[in-house]
Amino acid sequence: MSSYSRRRFQPQTGEEIEKVRQNLRNQYGGTYDQLQQILFEIDSHDLNYGDNYNEYERVVWEALPELRLEQSDEEIGKVIEAALNRVLDEPLSNDASGRVRAAAPRIRKALVR
């Protein structure tokens, strides 16, 4: 598990959530928002309710510190799948897993920026 253990991702108040969000945005820049957008678009758990992009935000909190540019697309997909399973506490369907794997090259591009 990354240096950001799951217990660090339990903010409850709006202020706590905003603090975590800002810390990660400061550390990872635009990659934070790009990863959130990609996860929203592939919508592995059918959470997409319009234009509310933060539905996968806690997954970004879990996955982003574990993603590395030198990882293969397969490794990137595994990091994202593991984060989805931890945060949403529900296994991915085969279709959803395929969408995650297909998005791995896009996620890699987001890491470059």
Report the length, in residues, of the chain: 113
pTM of the model: 0.81
pLDDT digits (tens, 9 = 90+) for 4-22: 444 445 788 989 989 999 9
CA distance 104 to 86: 19
Which whole number is the average pLDDT over 100-110? 94
Structure tokens that stand for 99 in this block: 């969408």
Q: What is the pLDDT of residue 103?
A: 95
- pLDDT-derived band at 55 (thresholds 50, 70, 90) equals confident
Structure tokens that stand for 54 in this block: 């933060």
CA distance 104 to 51: 22
Which whole number is the average pLDDT over 32-37? 93
Query: What DSSP assignment string belongs to 14-73?
Result: HHHHHHHHHHHHHHHTHHHHHHHHHHHHH-TTS---SS-GGGGHHHHHHHGGG--TTS-H
pLDDT digits (tens, 9 = 90+) for 66-98: 999 899 999 999 999 999 988 888 888 888 889
HEC string for 89-109: CCCCCHHHHHHHHHHHHHHHH
